[in-house]
Amino acid sequence: MRWMRFASSLLAALSFFTLEAVAWAECTKPEVRKEWRTLSTSEKAAWIAAVNCVSKFPHDPKLAPIVPRNISDIPPVNESSSYWDDLTYIHMDLNTRIHFTGYFLPWHRWYVAVVESVMKSRCGFKGTVPYWDWRLDYKDVKTSPLFTDPDPISGFGTWGDSAKDFQVQDGGFANIEYAYPVPHMLRRNYTLQPWLQLTPEQDPTMTDVNWEGNASFVPQRIQELVDHTPGDFPGFQMRMEAQVGPHANGHQIVGADMAGYCPSDAYPNCLPAPTFSVNEPLFQLHHAMVDKVWYEWQHANPEKSFWAFHGGSIQNQTSLAAANEYPNGMPPWISLTTKIQADGLFPEVTIADIMNTTGGYLCYVYE
């Protein structure tokens, strides 16, 4: 009976798909994404080298932002920037569409995958994107091995120098210049309590400004996410994306670029926001972990959760009541057939295309 219910659910989901999607079954040898600490020194070096390689390619003129800049609140495209900056700009442009809407989880799953594909196609990278398992660092993020390795070949580098606008002085990314919001080097600023200065006007949904970021990474809290009500996609996303959830605190506790805080010499109206957080290569590992938790939730109860999806296309975080009513966006609703926007740099696929990580378009599992 259990298999019959699962088969029925799967067939119902397949009714949304195009005929081409039947080819998803072709993924027979999925790649394995591993936690950063489990990689060998050579594997770490290869991933860092690939990031640096992508940052040396020039701007691609195919980049075509679609959100009006009076909504996105971002600078214009820098024609002298790098291809890594182009990848950052996609996230900047779509910021208001891919956070606190139904796009959040599928868009970021797609995004991490296409960045990895760029590393492979342009730079010969042979591995997979690693993930940052926050659970291993819940007691002390500051001394995590990710932030205590200054090796210029295989290290992520240490925390930034406060006397130099928190610029990272060592590790494998110390020499990359980023274009957005203004030209600068990578910045990193450990911030245990990232919400202390937050006002109700800035975010009326925040209920505890004294929250310590690493409290979001406690293993029991992550397990509660995995065990969250099967099939309740909006509820799962709300817990992941909330200000006291692991997604927001992964960005905020690393601070500076990862948190979207503007460089000291930025233009006067530069707004702190998670727009240019892709500058920080750790973004890829962080969102691979966000994806891993979603992956685990999908597989914990596949009959109800594997194809579970619902969400709106418009943010509504204007009040706590609104956030509770529309935990992942308000109408117009999006569905499995909705296209994932790519700002002209990549072919657009549907949300259905990336729901299954071993479905053909995607071909990976987690260690």
Report pLDDT digits (tens) over 135-172.
Answer: 999 999 999 999 999 999 999 999 999 999 999 999 99
Quote the pLDDT of residue 9. Answer: 38
Residues whose CB falls within 8 Å of the CB of residue 60, separated by 6 or more in sequence, listed in order: 83, 86, 345
CA dist 159 → 147, 181, 190, 219, 246 (Å): 6, 20, 7, 24, 20
The number of helix segments (H) and strand segments (E) in the chain equals: 13, 8
Task: Report the amino acid identity of residue 253.
Answer: I
Query: Per-residue pLDDT tens for 255-305?
Result: 999 999 999 999 998 988 889 999 999 999 999 999 999 999 999 999 999
| Three-state DSSP state, 320 | helix
Q: What are the backbone dihedrals phi and psi of residue 161, each rounded to the nearest 5 degrees, phi first?
A: -90, 115
Cα dihedral sign, 73-76-80-81: positive
Element (H, E) at 312: strand 311-314
- For 99-121, give one letter per residue: b (16+ CB within 10 A) or e: bbbbbbbbbbbbbbbbbbebbee
CA angle 14, 17, 18 (to 5 degrees): 135
CA atoms of 25 and 360, how far apart (whole Å):
6
Question: What tokens does 204 get?
Answer: 């009326």
Average pLDDT over all residues of the chain = 92
Of the candidates 68, 108, 101, 105, which has an alpha carbon nearest to the alpha carbon of residue 87?
Answer: 108
Residues 273/279, Cβ–Cβ less than 8 Å: no
Of the candidates 85, 107, 83, 82, which has an alpha carbon nearest to the alpha carbon of residue 94?
Answer: 107
Quote the pLDDT of residue 25. Answer: 56
Q: What are the backbone dihedrals phi and psi of residue 317, each rounded to the nearest 5 degrees, phi first?
A: -115, 30
Quote the pLDDT of residue 289. Answer: 98
CA atoms of 286 and 279, how far apart (whole Å):
13
Question: What tokens does 245 get?
Answer: 């959830």
Name the CATH superfamily housing domain 31-366: Di-copper center containing domain from catechol oxidase (1.10.1280.10)
Residues 247/240, Cβ–Cβ less than 8 Å: yes
Quote the pLDDT of residue 12. Answer: 36
Three-state SS sequence of 198-261: CCCCCCCCCCCCCCCHHHHHCHHHHHHHHCCCCCCHHHHHHHHHCCCCHHHHHHHHHCHHHHCC
Is 39 exposed, middle or buried, given 0-12, 13-18 or 19+ CB atoms closer than 10 A?
Answer: middle
Indicate the pTM of the whole model: 0.93
Cα dihedral sign, 39-171-216-249: negative
Quote the pLDDT of residue 1. Answer: 34
Q: Could you state, in chain order, the average pLDDT of each consecutive group of 10 residues for the chain (367 residues)?
A: 36 34 64 98 98 98 97 96 98 97 98 98 98 98 98 98 98 98 98 91 88 97 98 97 96 98 95 93 98 98 98 94 94 98 97 94 95
Quote the pLDDT of residue 58. Answer: 98
CA atoms of 367 and 358, how far apart (whole Å):
14
Residues whose CB falls within 8 Å of the CB of residue 268, separated by 6 or more in sequence, listed in order: none
